[in-house]
Structure 1
């Protein structure tokens, strides 16, 4: 039996999913129990056939197990790779780093999402009414140092009228002008379905870039405080300015950049529009 306790952001939760599949392949017949510390994590893993039992830490039925974890009475795998600063010691992808917690080497590090037919239908229905829909999310919940300037995103949107930019995310995030605004109007899983049936995803290093990989959709991702070696994907439109102080995510964490986010400032509007046109096909 394997017990996994998940922490971290939504992207980190998604990046752990390849290890679940590999674990079941390496240990046929084993039981995998995954404990989630948030409803969002739980929703990401719903209907995953590689997970035998999916539980919320907040559920009273999990209290005994949580106590066993706290007092080390049972063995738990806690793949919080951010604790030791991956950018300081690794150059391989985050999913492969997480697999080390399971004593595994991945042959396939693509994240897994398993949508229901109803969720798929909702995504298709929404996307069908838009011409060349592209999901956009300019926000990083982990560090503002990863964000580009919102006025530059709006300039990109204005420069590419052949695309319909669909903004996903939470209602407390900046609303970009010129988008179809779906922030907070559909569920997390319906948002992932929209990604699946869109032309692709553009944004900074955050959750929806990993959803794009899970759904086999192209993406254009802007990196600065983090780097594409760990959180990007080969073959996608990764834009990264390797200034001397980058990557700094494991040094500054959520502290503000003392240099005015030079790494993000150096990314030009034309560079992003060109990457979108090159990577996201038009009808």
Structure 2
């Protein structure tokens, strides 16, 4: 690879919210390795809040997930507008972090000096050859729950001669003043002091990764019985809100609940202000890592090595089932994961107390 410094770079990650948040160290590493570089991102529009306000991200370009549902002319108009915006930036580096064909097309159209993408097998020999020829370099993807996703992202930079430092590896998330003020007002409205609460976000968009309602209720009741302040949060989807409603019916004492009331920036601010976070493999767990909030993370069928909290104070809880991590939609497709059900509330409470003591946040109330 050329040793000439990069002036402008485009990092592409067309995946879900957590995947996008975990790209942050790529921007920080590039900024550290090439002082003065301008780095843009290309993500799906619903995930852009994961990167906006990041100190090393100049502009977040977006693609709408709904573009594919538009008519041919409307699609062409939107993609042409995106292409013109990207072309005007004159990138000399493209870092493509998935196997999405958009990255290959853009690398061919924008013609940067250097372009790097994962080395993947496409669905035919011809497609694989086209993919390979679209980039100047490709990096191997170590799968099978053997390497953290952040390090897999950073492998793209290692492949082109850029080694991350320890200082550039942590995640970053900036909620912003407006989100912080909004959350403070919402907490005040429920009589909760900032910094004095334990946040429990028990749900995931994939409910088979969620701990049983009864277990969460037992944990919450144990915390409130000893005087800890608990705040609940969840996404605004009907499935998650219904789950929270079931939980609240089982609680011995009422707790503050901001479920379905927060933007992504506000959720990040809420997590940043907590004494500790308790949840499952989900975007909020990654936000806890990005804000250095101590987290207890429960993992069932998903890979804890690949997706666990990154470089932040945490306790990661699993049960030694020989079949995990299976990545399946519950045991036998039942939406219920036995490896999660087997985790007891008593163990989670003990791990939480140990983490609070370890991080100097053990004084409750």
Q: TM-score, normalised by structure 2?
A: 0.67
- 2:12–2:103 CA contact under 8 A, matched in 1: no
Whole-angstrom distance in 2 between the partners of 1:217 and 1:160: 18
Q: Where does the alignment leave 5 or more consecutive residues of structure 2 unmatched?
A: 1-7, 65-77, 87-100, 123-139, 249-253, 357-361
Whole-angstrom distance in 1 between the partners of 2:306 and 2:255: 30
Per the TM alignment, residue 180 of structure 1 is displaced from its structure 2 partner at its CA by 2.2
Residue number among 46, 49, 53 corresponding to 2:55 in the alignment:
49
Tell me the equivalent position of 1:163. Answer: 228
| Alpha-carbon displacement from aligned partner over 1:110-135 (angstroms, at most 9, x marks no partner) | 21112322322333344453263122
- 1:196–1:212 CA contact under 8 A, matched in 2: yes
Whole-angstrom distance in 2 between the partners of 1:191 and 1:209: 11
Q: Secondary structure at the match of 1:88?
A: coil
Q: CA RMSD in A?
A: 2.9
Residue number among 94, 98, 122 corresponding to 2:182 in the alignment:
122
Tell me the equivalent position of 2:105. Answer: 70
| Alpha-carbon displacement from aligned partner over 1:35-83 (angstroms, at most 9, x marks no partner) | 12132x21121112211221112366314559785363236666799x9
Tell me the equivalent position of 1:111. Answer: 171
- 1:3–1:77 CA contact under 8 A, matched in 2: no
Distance 1:25 1:240, change over 3 A: same
Residues 194-213 of structure 1: pairs in structure 2 closer than 5 A: 194-213=270-289
Q: Secondary structure at the match of 1:258?
A: helix
Whole-angstrom distance in 2 between the partners of 1:16 and 1:240: 25
Distance 1:239 1:68, change over 3 A: closer
Tell me the equivalent position of 1:99. Answer: 154
Residue number among 3, 9, 20 corresponding to 2:16 in the alignment:
9
| Alpha-carbon displacement from aligned partner over 1:232-254 (angstroms, at most 9, x marks no partner) | 246412111131111112xx3xx
Tell me the equivalent position of 2:197. Answer: 133
Q: Where does the alignment leave 5 or more consecutive residues of structure 1 unmatched?
A: none
Residues 124-273 of structure 1: pairs in structure 2 closer than 5 A: 124-127=184-187, 129-130=191-192, 132-141=196-205, 143-161=206-224, 162-171=227-236, 172=238, 173=240, 174-175=243-244, 176-177=247-248, 178-233=254-309, 235-249=313-327, 252=328, 255-258=329-332, 261-273=337-349
Where relative contact order (Cα < 8 A, 6+ residues apart) is larger, the structure is 1
Whole-angstrom distance in 1 between the partners of 2:308 and 2:145: 17
Whole-angstrom distance in 2 between the partners of 1:80 and 1:116: 37
Whole-angstrom distance in 2 between the partners of 1:238 and 1:212: 13
Whole-angstrom distance in 2 between the partners of 1:179 and 1:166: 6
Whole-angstrom distance in 2 between the partners of 1:80 and 1:144: 32
Q: TM-score, normalised by structure 1?
A: 0.84
Distance 1:144 1:105, change over 3 A: farther
User: Which one has the largest radius of gyration?
Assistant: 2
Tell me the equivalent position of 2:35. Answer: 28
Number of residue pairs the alignment of both structures matches: 275
Distance 1:208 1:48, change over 3 A: same
Q: Secondary structure at the match of 1:101?
A: helix
- 1:123–1:196 CA contact under 8 A, matched in 2: no
